[in-house]
Amino acid sequence: MEENEEVNDGINENLDNSQDSLTKVTGMYKDWFLDYASYVILERAVPAIEDGFKPVQRRIMHALKELDDGRYNKVANVVGHTMQYHPHGDASIADAMVQLGQKDLLIDTQGNWGNILTGDGAAASRYIEARLSKFGLEVVFSPKITEWQQSYDGRRKEPVNLPVKFPLLLAQGAEGIAVGLSTKVLPHNFIELIDSSIKHLKGQRFTLFPDFPTAGIIDVTNYNEGLRGGKIRVRAKISQLDKNTLVISEIPYGTNTSTLIDSILKANDKGKIKIKKIEDNTAADVEILVHLPGGISPDKTIDALYAFTACESSISPLGCIIEDNKPLFIGVVEMLKRSTENTVELLKAELEIQLSELEEQWHFTSLERIFIEKRIYRDIEEEETWEGVIKAIDKGLQPHIAHLKRAVTEEDIVRLTEIRIKRISKFDLEKAQQFIEGLEEKIAQVKHHLEHLVEYAIDYFKSLKEKYGKGRERKSEIRIFDDIEATKVVIRNTKLYVNKEEGFVGTSLKRDEYVTDCSDIDDIICFTKDGKMMVTKVDAKTFIGKNIVHVAVFKKKDKRTIYNMIYKDGKGGPSYIKRFNVTSITRDKIYDLTNGKANSEMLYFSANPNGEAEVVTVLLRQAGSIKKLKWDIDFADVLIKGRASKGNVVTKYPVKRVELKEKGVSTLKPRKIWFDEVVRRLNVDGRGELLGEFRGDDLLLVVTQKGIAKTLTPDLSTHFDDDMILLEKWNPEKPLSAVYYEGEKERYYIKRFVIENEGKEELFISEHPKSVLELISSDWRPVVEVEFVKPRGKDAKPNQTIDLEDFIAVKGIKALGNVLTADKVKSVNALEPLPYEEPEVQEPEEMEVIDEEAVDSSDDRPISNSKSKGSKPEDEGQTLLF
């Protein structure tokens, strides 16, 4: 026991001693972590605003300048030279150098530097070579105005910041992840940056948007000048090669062809899209061919590629830079302003140094001229000491130096004593005077530049644009994207079944009744016999409620699908009729479409995708003294309201059944459809050019520059190619007039024709590869003016005006047409068409949908004074139909 107590006392004593020597972790963490975080932010991840470089990039550029002799250097050699300044390994330097080289701005590359389009990496650094580009040499370096500091080991000097006279950070972009901080500055267009710098110097406002080396299409609506919270959307450029092939010719920034193809294949495996195969023909330019199986819509597949693959992505910029050794969050406009003003200061510093050097050169050249011309060198022949020589020269110069701009120093006199006898003997006074005058002109010019510094900077930027701007035009096309609803473009990859009696709906009920094809992201709408409605997500098996009467895929904001319903209000209650649409719901919530009384039930129900209104027959049960047991009701007499409306009384007597007598036509107004040129899409929101009012069977006419005409249903998801030259509502009676150059016969032809086959693409010019469509007109009586080529040595033939209606009759679409002229044609221009009055079409009066939001849910008043044939008023004031 005593031994154990001694041991315990020793342990307790050691613990007390150790507690005295403990250091709190919070202090260590605070100091060490902040030091490390600061180092990563300032020395590794975030670029400086002064030159746009991260430290490793700055050291690479400095090493390239030190090695520069006009020839290419092995990248491995440059990496080794950079390691004298950079405290990290060769791999990080090599990777940073490859990224700089791939931006094709500061470094001339030779060898396999990888491919940003395909994602292929560069060859090993021992196999590839680099040198500074002419642009890099001109804008990045100026040793006389560079501030220098010790390298990390104190052996060499390196620049604190390079004197970059260009908004390089915005041109190249930058991305980095530090500790607790990140930055993402997107690349911008070279020419637009220069133009914006000039505008800033002129005091004008400007805007900046990204431009990516991978091209693609971008939506910059929410760019927010590259600040935190901004976002841009980027899309691949996808066009239709033929009816079964899509071609991707440009890819979004941040992707490559490999990752893009992988995302497409994954979407295909998941059933989101359906493709046959993919071919990657990418070389210097992107070309990915997406082959579609038969029966798949190319338009819908394009939307699906944007919705489910990497063909569309969003990028969130974050403008963070280093200024005065601190991170600073600013937008791209402010970055450009600071860079431009910094460039002006650098140009000023260079001019001041240049002026100082020129004045010093003028001073010494003037002294040299006096020294030789006045033969002052003879005054030192008798002098025996160095001090005597200096004094003799100084004394000899005094009568002749009044015009000099500064005092003569001893250093000046020492330089005069170093002039060789050979130079004195060959001295030419006239040449010396000309040289001095030349210096004076240069001094005056530099002073003028300093006095007009802004104009000088503008000229500097203009010279950069002239010398290096060729081939650097914008690559990314700026557009406004339309939002794509995934449910509208997903491939229906599964089948929906229903057990109406038991009340189950799902994709696994394969022994029950088939409803429709659907996708796993669809919502479905269900109605039951007791007047209930529910919208739920597609699943393997979902219980809705017994006695289901209707199931369909649900479309949000769908005002065209109208539900016609007659229901009994509780046990022994009256029957009501109503028409309604369902535009918005809460998923999995049960909605009661009746008045909510127990034992209410549907007597009749129909779903009509285009607002059709059928005629039904109501049959009453024999009870009491009712004389009329059967009559017809036309749903067209009922206004369309919200789902919560009570409806209008059909009868207060018991109904035996309701039968469909006659299918109806749409009672909805025709839709006005517009074409938005910006997004090249149809819309019903009033954006762009009004194409007309469209009923269910109306079609659009599309003509392309390739000489292809087709008609199609006005689907709001349709894509229109860039070569579309005519889009309008199709009138089957109105002819098209075309002027085209026939490649084989080498003549211009005129033809007039009507579209004969609905929904079919037809080529109306000849198939010869040199055939070109010159002009197409859908006017009833078009007129064109023909301008002829001027023959050598002769006057040009006067322009000819042609009335196409008189020139040729309407023929078949495959007809060759009539020769326009045998003379050489310079151009064919459309003139104002001749007047023509189209016959008026009498349109029946249509019924307008009343928005659900504007409907009083308790409204059960009569909504029309019209009555069905054979009906008579009841003693209830609310009764519309007997």
Q: Mind telling me the catalytic residues?
A: 127
The Cα–Cα gap between 370 and 424 comes to 12
Q: How many whole angstroms separate alpha carbon 743 and alpha carbon 746?
A: 5
Distance from C-alpha of 336 to C-alpha of 115, rounded to nearest angstrom: 29
Residue 805: its H or E element: helix 804-807
DSSP class per residue in 760-815: --EE-S---TT-EEEEEE--SS-EEEEEEPPPTTSPPPPPEEEEHHHH--EE-TT-
Cα distances (Å, whole numbers) of residue 840 to 137, 586, 779, 780 = 72, 46, 17, 15
Q: What does the block give as tokens for 397? A: 């110069």
Question: Could you tell me the end-to-end alpha-carbon distance of the chain, in angstroms, rounded to an integer?
Answer: 109
In the numeric block, the tokens 């390196």 are attached to 158
Q: How far apart are alpha carbons 54 and 33 in whole angstroms? A: 21
Q: Is 66 left (phi over 0), alpha (psi -120 to 50) or beta?
A: alpha
Phi-psi region for residue 216, left (φ > 0), alpha (ψ -120 to 50) or beta? left
Whole-number Å distance between alpha carbons of 163 and 724: 49
Checking DSSP bridges between strand 640-641 and strand 575-580, what pairing results, if any?
Answer: parallel
> Which stretches within 41-132 are classed as H helix?
55-67, 75-82, 90-102
d(CA 633, CA 653): 16
494-499, strands of its sheet edge to edge: 513-518, 494-499, 504-506, 542-543
Q: For the sheet with 245-250, list strands across it.
A: 237-242, 245-250, 288-291, 277-280
Residue 668 CB-half CA count within 13 A: 26
Radius of gyration from C-alpha coordinates of the chain: 42
DSSP 308: H
Cβ within 8 Å of residue 4, ≥6 positions away: none
